[in-house]
Amino acid sequence: MVGDSTVAAGGGRRPGRFLLAVPLQRWAVWRLPRRGQVFFVVVVDVLAVAAVALAAAVRFPPLAPMLPSFALLAGGMLVTAELSRPVERHREDTLLGPGVDTPWVFAGVVVLRPGLAVALVVLSALHQWFRVRRRPVYRQVFGAASTALAGLVAGAFLTATRVEPLAAALDTRTVALLVLAGLAFLAVNAALVTAADGPRPSREAATGHAFDAAMTTFGVLFGWAALAAPLFVPFLAGATVVLHRGGLGRGRREHVTLDPGTGVLTAASWRGAAETEVARLGRHGPGQAVLLLDLDHFRQLNDRYGARIGDAVLRAVADTLRDEVRAADLVGRSGGEEFAVLLPGTGRFDAMAIAERIRLRVASTLVALKASGDGPQFVGVTVSIGVAGCGPDEVLADALLAAEAAVLQAKAAGRNRTICAEPGQERQ
């Protein structure tokens, strides 16, 4: 999403003194390292809600004739976002811009009234939350709020300059004003996110801004097609998916390597990506958890049924892991029959619940052997899991040692179980 913020959750808890309700005090936003960050994020959220209410409900309420265009843009955005999901979940690692939803959002700014345009932003944020990656709620809300404010500013500019409907011919004046509106959209969003996150390295920022500008340009074409040639929208959508997946896919391959047998990260790529994530959150992060999984009696299974069945079992386990963890979590193959998972922003208690869910799901996963007169035959496997926390002041290596020790305890206790390492166990 355009306003995707990368603010790291803070270390010490700093709830506002005026908050009396315990649930509000537990919000991650109050743990940001600086009170100025907390104030800025809250102000942007409140300002976005107020601006949307004023523009959508008072000044420019939605019009019924715009609903077909809204439905076309919303449907196209969700379909393209879903098709781009395998690449989008790695976007933060490649730093190649905001994502494939940008042209749809800007098209809504151009052709719809504010309430419907902001509804596209909300739909994008919900898709990000449920299908791509889950970040702390305040970060998701801030991303949507900054995008909504940027869209309102660009829309106000187009209204003030009386841009002609895009269904008509695009003359020089209209094109120039659309370019200026796009620049305003990008500038306001970038300013809000940079104020919250701090500036990124110039090389990374330049790449992201170029990608943003390209996606915003597609937004003008989407807006025109939604009004003048609706049947042309699917062709434009397909082009953006191909370009998006191709560009980000190349960027991802430069950063990570996937295990050809299971489709998860290789051991070296997982370790590098996990160390980068731990360093990115740093001292002010909420901490991480590490899971190490070792398949029980896998060598005997491999010897009995052959490498083909063994590889199928590994693929089934890898698929189960991908299904059971969040998009932001890192899954890698750390050995022949071993997997590793990094759970950013997850405490030991929640990590244990996730590990138990994975263990039960793996135990119920079966791989077909062959067909016979009595029906198909299947083989399954169980897994022993070690869980270890990695706090903001800890290093990944210590957490891995603790998780490895917990796996050995699970094996010694009878296998097919989950054990959580006690704090400090890696130092014993």
> Dihedral, CA atoms, 398, 401, 407, 411, nearest 10 degrees?
-150
pLDDT of residue 245: 67
Is the predicted pLDDT of residue 242 greater than 50, yes or no? yes
Q: Please tell me whether residues 321 and 187 are part of one structural domain.
A: no
Q: Please tell me whether residues 408 and 285 are part of one structural domain.
A: yes
Q: Please tell me whether residues 221 and 358 are part of one structural domain.
A: no
| Domain endpoint, select from 224, 255, 286 | 255
Question: Bigger pLDDT: 205 or 62?
Answer: 62
| Domain endpoint, select from 234, 255, 276 | 255
Q: Please tell me whether residues 91 and 206 are part of one structural domain.
A: yes
Highest mean pLDDT out of 101-115, 196-210, 238-252, 324-338:
101-115
Q: Provide mean pLDDT across the span 136-154.
A: 88
pLDDT of residue 246: 62
Which pLDDT band, with edges at 50, 70 and 90, does 203 fall under? Answer: low
The domain tally of the chain equals 2
pLDDT of residue 87: 65
Collect contacts of 407-415 with beta carbons under 8 A, ≥24 apart. Answer: 407/292, 407/293, 407/294, 410/384, 410/385, 410/386, 411/294, 411/296, 411/384, 415/296, 415/297, 415/382, 415/384
Classify residue 317: in a domain, yes or no. yes
> Percentage of the chain with pLDDT > 70?
76
Classify residue 291: in a domain, yes or no. yes
pLDDT of residue 7: 35
Q: Please tell me whether residues 208 and 92 are part of one structural domain.
A: yes
Question: Bigger pLDDT: 277 or 3?
Answer: 277
Q: Please tell me whether residues 185 and 91 are part of one structural domain.
A: yes
Classify residue 111: in a domain, yes or no. yes
Q: Please tell me whether residues 60 and 86 are part of one structural domain.
A: yes
Classify residue 65: in a domain, yes or no. yes
pLDDT of residue 222: 93
Classify residue 260: in a domain, yes or no. no
Q: Please tell me whether residues 250 and 168 are part of one structural domain.
A: yes
Q: Which of 41-50, 240-249, 338-347 has the lowest mean pLDDT?
A: 240-249
User: Residue 389 belongs to what domain range?
Assistant: 267-427
What 3-state DSSP class applies to 60? coil
Q: Please tell me whether residues 195 and 216 are part of one structural domain.
A: yes
Q: Please tell me whether residues 185 and 309 are part of one structural domain.
A: no
Classify residue 282: in a domain, yes or no. yes
**CA distance readout (Å), 361 to 318, 330, 331, 366:** 12, 18, 16, 10
HEC string of 92-119? HHHCCCCCCCHHHHHHHHHHCCHHHHHH
pLDDT digits (tens, 9 = 90+) for 60-71: 888 899 999 999
pLDDT of residue 19: 39
Q: What are phi and psi of 290, to 5 degrees?
A: -120, 135
pLDDT digits (tens, 9 = 90+) for 325-334: 887 789 999 8
> Dihedral, CA atoms, 346, 350, 351, 357, nearest 10 degrees?
-140
How far apart CA 312 and CA 279 sit, in angstroms, is 35
Which pLDDT band, with edges at 50, 70 and 90, does 133 fall under? Answer: low
Q: Please tell me whether residues 199 and 306 are part of one structural domain.
A: no
Classify residue 5: in a domain, yes or no. no
pLDDT digits (tens, 9 = 90+) for 161-190: 988 777 666 788 888 999 999 999 999 998
pLDDT digits (tens, 9 = 90+) for 270-306: 988 888 888 776 555 567 899 999 999 999 998 888 8
Per-residue DSSP letters for 323-383?
A: HHS-TTSEEEE-SSSEEEEEEET--HHHHHHHHHHHHHHHHT-EEE----TT---EEE--E
| Domain endpoint, select from 255, 278, 303 | 255
Q: Please tell me whether residues 223 and 331 are part of one structural domain.
A: no
Which pLDDT band, with edges at 50, 70 and 90, does 83 fall under? Answer: confident
Q: Provide mean pLDDT across the span 59-82.
A: 91
pLDDT digits (tens, 9 = 90+) for 212-226: 888 899 899 999 999
304, 277, 385, 389: which is closest to 339 by C-alpha?
Answer: 385
Q: Which of 137-151, 198-212, 245-259, 379-393 has the lowest mean pLDDT?
A: 245-259
DSSP structural state of residue 32: S
CATH code of residue 358 = 3.30.70.270
Classify residue 156: in a domain, yes or no. yes
Q: Provide mean pLDDT across the span 305-328.
A: 89
